[in-house]
Amino acid sequence: MTQLIVALDEPDYGHARVVVERTAPAVEWYKVGYEAYYGYGDLILTLLREAGKQIFLDLKLHDIPNTVTAAVRASARSGATLLTVHAGGGATMLSAAVAAKTAGLRIIAVTVLTSLTAEDLRSVGIASDPKDQALRLALLARNCGIDGVVCAVEDAARIRRECGPGFAIVCPGVRPPGAPAGDQRRVATPADAALAGADFIVVGRPVTKSDDPGAAARAIVDQLRLS
């Protein structure tokens, strides 16, 4: 079954802790991204470890191979189960990340951000359609030994067909029906993501900004179970 990852992109530790406390009965996975990691990383990582939760450390590493190697080794000590790198870093960097990981840590490569359109890609010199670019990067990542990718829901089914059942697919840009898209351009519902073959969906604001984060998370989990 597709699993929900709640994104703890909150400005302060106090609110992030409340979100974890209220959603913990329904949620196993939590994403720690830039805001949480750089703002209160030690606190939130300790909370999640002590609660027995699975940590998705979304740092999108993208640097020279030696630097990424060091970052992967350091990140492994956080207790994370999933760690992101950018597929655009190239084959040597991706292979270095794989070589540096420890048992229990999976490396997931970001393909094309869900905020990007074809026009955005052209503006940085990429002529490919977002779907074609996402598949190209997914295949590169798989061939380097990367464990899976982050991609838009609309890219997931094609990547699943080409990369096989053991390749993890994480889909952000997921919104319950009727929820605002925010700054995401390519969005989909939890049911859409499950049908496309996503292993995980990442949901932030529809849960964390809800008046009842626990109920919001349970509703999404129920949708995934029925899909």
Give the tens place of pLDDT for each residue, 49-102: 999 999 999 999 999 999 999 999 999 999 999 999 999 999 999 999 999 999
Measure the CA–CA gap between 139 and 146, rounded to whole angstroms: 10
pLDDT in the model for residue 175: 87
**Domain 3-226 class, CATH top level:** alpha beta
Domain residue ranges in the chain: 3-226
Looking at every residue in the chain, the average pLDDT score rounds to 95
Measure the CA–CA gap between 107 and 58, rounded to whole angstroms: 10
Residues of the chain with pLDDT > 70, as a percent, come to 96
Q: Is the pLDDT of residue 115 over 90?
A: no
Q: At a CB cut-off of 8 Å and minimum separation 6, what does 27 contact?
A: 4, 6, 53, 217, 221
Residue type, 125: G
Does residue 60 carry a catalytic annotation? yes
Cβ proximity of 104 and 72 under 8 Å = no
For residue 120, name the pLDDT band (cuts at 50, 70, 90): very high
pLDDT in the model for residue 74: 95
Q: Is the pLDDT of residue 152 over 80?
A: yes
Q: Which two tokens stand for residue 214?
A: 């626990």
Q: Which two tokens stand for residue 225?
A: 């179970």
Q: Determine the Cα angle at 67 with ends 65 and 70, to 5°.
A: 110
Measure the CA–CA gap between 105 and 174, rounded to whole angstroms: 24
For residue 114, name the pLDDT band (cuts at 50, 70, 90): confident
| Per annotation, catalytic residue among 53, 60, 101, 131 | 60
pLDDT tens-digit series, residues 20-51: 999 999 999 999 999 999 999 999 999 999 99
Measure the CA–CA gap between 3 and 199, rounded to whole angstroms: 6
Measure the CA–CA gap between 32 and 38, rounded to whole angstroms: 10
CA-based end-to-end distance of the chain: 9
pLDDT in the model for residue 191: 94
Residues of the chain with pLDDT > 90, as a percent, come to 92
pLDDT in the model for residue 181: 54
**Which class for 87: exposed (0-12), middle (13-18), buried (19 or more C-beta within 10 A)?**
buried
pLDDT in the model for residue 185: 59
pLDDT in the model for residue 179: 59
- What mean pLDDT do residues 140-157 have? 97
Q: Which two tokens stand for residue 168?
A: 């993890």
Q: Which two tokens stand for residue 183?
A: 């700054």
For residue 227, name the pLDDT band (cuts at 50, 70, 90): confident
